[in-house]
Amino acid sequence: MRPDQFARVREVVAGALERPVGQRQDWVTDACGDDTDLRAEVESLLALDANTPSLLATGGLGGAAWTSVLEAIAPETPEPPGRRIGPYEIVAVLGEGGMGTVYHARQSEPLRRDVALKLVRRGLDSSRIITRFEVERRTLAQLDHPGIARILDAGADDQGRPFFVMELVRGVPITEYSDVRQLSVRARLDLFLQVCHAVSHAHQKGVLHRDLKPSNVLVTEHDGVAHPKVIDFGVARAIDPDSGGDDEAPHMLTEVGQLVGTPEYMSPEQSGARPGGADTRSDVYSLGVLLYELLTGERPYQLRGLPLSEIQRVIGTEEPKRPSTVRRPSSLYPPRSRELAGDLDTIVLMSLRKEPERRYQGVEPFAADVRRYLEGRPVEARLDTWSYRTAKFVRRHRAGVAVAATAAVALIVFAATMTYQRNRAVDAERRAQAEAETARQVSDFLVGLFSQANPFVSEGRQLTARDLLDHGADRIQQDLRGQPGVQAALMITMSQAYTGLQVPDRAVELATRALDRQRELYGETHAGVATALVALAAAHAARSEADEALPLYREALAMRRALLDDGDPAIIEAVRLLALDLHTLAQFPEAEALYREALDRTRRIRPADHQDVTAALQALGGILHAQGKTDEALTVLREALERARSGQAGPIMTADILSELAVLQKNLGRPADAEPMYREALELREQTFGVHPFTAQSHNNLSVFLRGENRIEDALLHARKAVEIYRGALGDRHRDVGIAYSNLASVLKSLARVDEAEAAYRASLGAIEASMGREYWVYGQVEYNYGVLLRDAGRFAAAEPLIVRGYQLLLKGLGPANGRTRQAAEGAGELYERWGRPAQAAEYRKLASAGAGG
């Protein structure tokens, strides 16, 4: 099975295990849709959890260590009626939950009574659970309330599995009861208030429930009067492996794969979506969900079918719909939405807030507000304020805002620098004033920028860093009309941010305008002009226009060399970027010289353990590698990796270094060294960037590697992933999309899927032509590869022009001695030989060996 298929299986299985046995089939049917393979796989796994005989009995394998391994993975089987657990005898299964099975059991001594017995699944640390239960036992014994089912006993069975014994309640879940009895809103609220009363009683005794949900609130009827009873008090805490003695947030997790509690009813702090431990306000939250469901028939979040991480995200960040706007799924006795609108909406939403400190601070105030509503008095709950939601927006979109914030910091620093330069001749006091003024302008601008990110404006859609930038770019024009200097500086920074976000068109546009503005203000030669030139060049480079970027970088570097102190880091920046551009254009010797200069300069002005030195080493290693100077490349890159391992590089750079080293090790014929590096680099990039061209690059590299290792299926997976991410991030007209397609084609070729490979090659050539034209060696390389596909399929006439032209482009771009060029000559020779044209074959073979000699 492929990892991606397996991941899907894992999701569905995990989802099923979180549900009681009775609901699993529905879930699987739902989640698998018409994917029969998936479904078969899932069901074969789940079958093991439900009813197969114990593995211990199969196979007849003995042995001590082996037995304990088997025990660890063996499935649970329900206890048969008649079996004794301590002084209790099993009568029947009542139900199954995430943490174990609940039985109807009978006690004969010291008194005869029917009880509910919950047997916790294997795999939990039973002595810890029981110890913890004993600690709370005294407290639990004090719970004496008609609305709370009493906990009677706890212990461990002969296999060491903990069990809990409770008062047996023969009732139905509160939601079901209300629907069957067709209760009005008012009657439902009355019932709910009784539940609040019981929970509040427990809170006063210092006991949290931690797992409130309809199936734990059972309603029985005596003489036509409904009595809700809360069951399972104290059980969740005892079972939660993380409660007590731990400094971290206790998540409601068992050790066997389930959350204690149904995710829908769990507060953000319990689900791990927010830091902080459970307290009475967590129970308030769960009661809020219960009330929501009681009133609308729906839960605030539809978590069904979502992968696990997504559940946490939803609980932690999404706002529930107002109860009055929920359209009921069935027509069963819907309370009228008019009744819910207004105060009732407000009450429910207040209990469901993400932050405990903003909910009702206890069950009592919550119940009091419900009572006020029932009595027609004003309630105390208030809707969220706007300023609060804006603050929350910034927190919630931390990643996006972080990009904007990076831009913001850069803006302030940049604006201050600019002010300083402008005022070099002015006396200190006026300079300070000017700086303060610029800072104020920048800050006002940023405040405006974030106000634009008002979450109400973008209803229903998540604002991205891109949106923030777009707002900002628009507002630069309007708000800073009278401040051309500040305006230009901000445009440069925005352009850099767009480049970083891979939106090069806007980046070019802004940088071009900024460059014009700077030239108007400061003339042709000025540090500010150089900065705009660099930004514009970088934007072009991001648009795969390395040749457009080249003269801009050269001009900027010359300007900085002339204007700035020799030790100025801005010179290094320009040297480095020019080198990178030359590297892209395959002008390796000049690029190498510049990278060496950058490394020297960096070492001169930075401490020995500075990250910049690591970065310079990494860049130099890359260019050495590109020229086939493998020994020196290996030395340099190893030094870089060593530095990264000791903290002298962040995850992004570490991934770059690993990536380069991996390719190098592969080229040196050391696949075992290469593979972990490829994978670590991919992992780091997935973590740091998510869906991003850098992540795609790692997929691409890994795919090429795996193909070399003849692990073609794996290679195909990563190749497709690379194409998918690149296209999503860059569109169809980008060089890197072209390269990814070409590699995908090669994988398909290895699988003899010629038609698909051909289509991929065409897509590749299209993307490369659209981004770089047809004259670069990259285009030639893909043409050559395409030609080889056709040649090997026996289509010699169609292959010839592709192979020949490909060779010529490689020769022109990389020179006769380059490995790619020689390989292409060799490939052309093979074409002619198989085509029966020995003279031409010999000619190309000669070119290939001549290249090797020279």
Catalytic residues: 211
Among 101, 175, 200, 258, binds other proteins (CB under 8 A): 258
Question: 97: closest CA among 27, 19, 175?
Answer: 19
167 pairs with which residues across the strands? 115
* Site string (117-136) toward other proteins, x via CB under 8 A: --------x-----------
Among 20, 35, 39, 71, binds other proteins (CB under 8 A): 71
**CB of 656: closest distance to other proteins in angstroms?**
17
Q: Compare residues 282 and 531 and give the one whose CB is closer to other proteins.
A: 282
Q: Compare residues 234 and 250 and give the one whose CB is closer to other proteins.
A: 250
Among 35, 39, 45, 276, binds other proteins (CB under 8 A): 45
Question: 539: closest CA among 506, 499, 492?
Answer: 499
Among 60, 275, 836, 854, binds other proteins (CB under 8 A): 60
How many residues are there in the chain? 854
CB atoms under 10 Å from CB of 513, counted, come to 19
Q: Alpha-carbon distance 295 to 336, whole Å?
A: 9
> Phi and psi for 457 in degrees, rounded to 5?
-70, -35
Q: Compare residues 638 and 837 and give the one whose CB is closer to other proteins.
A: 638
Q: Which residue has the tokens 């075992």?
A: 672
**CB of 349: closest distance to other proteins in angstroms?**
26
Q: Compare residues 13 and 810 and give the one whose CB is closer to other proteins.
A: 13
Q: Which residues ranging from 309 to 328 are in contact with other proteins (CB under 8 A)?
A: 309, 312
3 binds other proteins, rule: CB under 8 A: yes
- In this structure, what token pair is assigned to residue 539? 């934007």
Among 22, 34, 36, 68, binds other proteins (CB under 8 A): 68
**CB of 10: closest distance to other proteins in angstroms?**
5
Could you say which DSSP state residue 526 is in?
-
- CB burial of 65-83 (b: ≥16 within 10 Å; e: otherwise) equals eeeeebeeebebeebeeee
Percent helix, percent strand, percent coil in the chain, to nearest 5: 65, 5, 30
Q: Compare residues 117 and 613 and give the one whose CB is closer to other proteins.
A: 613
74 binds other proteins, rule: CB under 8 A: yes
Q: Which residues ranging from 204 to 243 are in contact with other proteins (CB under 8 A)?
A: 241-242
Among 38, 46, 169, 363, binds other proteins (CB under 8 A): 46
389 binds other proteins, rule: CB under 8 A: no
Question: 129: closest CA among 154, 102, 103, 166?
Answer: 154
**CB of 182: closest distance to other proteins in angstroms?**
39
Q: Alpha-carbon distance 506 to 495, whole Å?
A: 7
* Site string (238-257) toward other proteins, x via CB under 8 A: ---xx---x----x-xxxxx
Q: Compare residues 49 and 548 and give the one whose CB is closer to other proteins.
A: 49
690 binds other proteins, rule: CB under 8 A: no
Question: 736: closest CA among 700, 777, 789?
Answer: 700
77 binds other proteins, rule: CB under 8 A: no
308 binds other proteins, rule: CB under 8 A: yes
What is the dihedral sign for C-alpha 591, 593, 596, 602?
A: negative
Q: Compare residues 643 and 791 and give the one whose CB is closer to other proteins.
A: 643
618 near 656, Cβ under 8 Å? yes
Q: Which residues ranging from 831 to 850 are in contact with other proteins (CB under 8 A)?
A: none
Q: Alpha-carbon distance 854 to 849, whole Å?
A: 9
646 binds other proteins, rule: CB under 8 A: yes
Collapsed DSSP state (helix, strand, coil) of residue 107 = strand
Q: Compare residues 74 and 605 and give the one whose CB is closer to other proteins.
A: 74
191 near 217, Cβ under 8 Å? no
CB atoms under 10 Å from CB of 153, counted, come to 16
Among 67, 108, 131, 325, binds other proteins (CB under 8 A): 67
214 near 174, Cβ under 8 Å? yes
Q: Alpha-carbon distance 556 to 598, whole Å?
A: 15
**CB of 128: closest distance to other proteins in angstroms?**
9
Among 22, 59, 607, 836, binds other proteins (CB under 8 A): 59
H helices of 397-460, where?
Answer: 398-422, 428-452
Q: Alpha-carbon distance 268 to 276, whole Å?
A: 9
Specify burial of residue 625 (Cβ count, 10 A radius: 0-12, 13-18, 19+). buried
Among 1, 40, 413, 447, binds other proteins (CB under 8 A): 1
For other proteins (CB under 8 A), the number of binding residues is 55
272 binds other proteins, rule: CB under 8 A: yes
The window from 203-211, 568-576, 643-651, 702-710 that contacts other proteins (CB under 8 A) reads 643-651
676 binds other proteins, rule: CB under 8 A: no
Paired sense of beta strands 151-156 and 217-222, if any: unpaired
Q: Alpha-carbon distance 683 to 500, whole Å?
A: 20
* Site string (742-771) toward other proteins, x via CB under 8 A: ------------------------------
602 binds other proteins, rule: CB under 8 A: no
Q: Compare residues 256 and 751 and give the one whose CB is closer to other proteins.
A: 256
Q: Which residue has the tokens 């390796």?
A: 588
Q: Alpha-carbon distance 294 to 276, whole Å?
A: 28
Q: Which residues ranging from 8 to 37 are in contact with other proteins (CB under 8 A)?
A: 9-10, 13-14, 17
- In this structure, what token pair is assigned to residue 805? 């032209």
**CB of 752: closest distance to other proteins in angstroms?**
23
395 binds other proteins, rule: CB under 8 A: no
**CB of 699: closest distance to other proteins in angstroms?**
16
How far apart, in Å, are the Cα atoms of 769 and each of 549, 737, 783, 784? 18, 11, 11, 15
In Å, how far from its chain's centre is CA 14?
19
Task: List residues near other proteins by CB under 8 A.
Answer: 1-3, 6-7, 9-10, 13-14, 17, 44-46, 48-49, 52, 55, 58-75, 125, 241-242, 246, 251, 253-259, 272, 308-309, 312, 642, 645-647
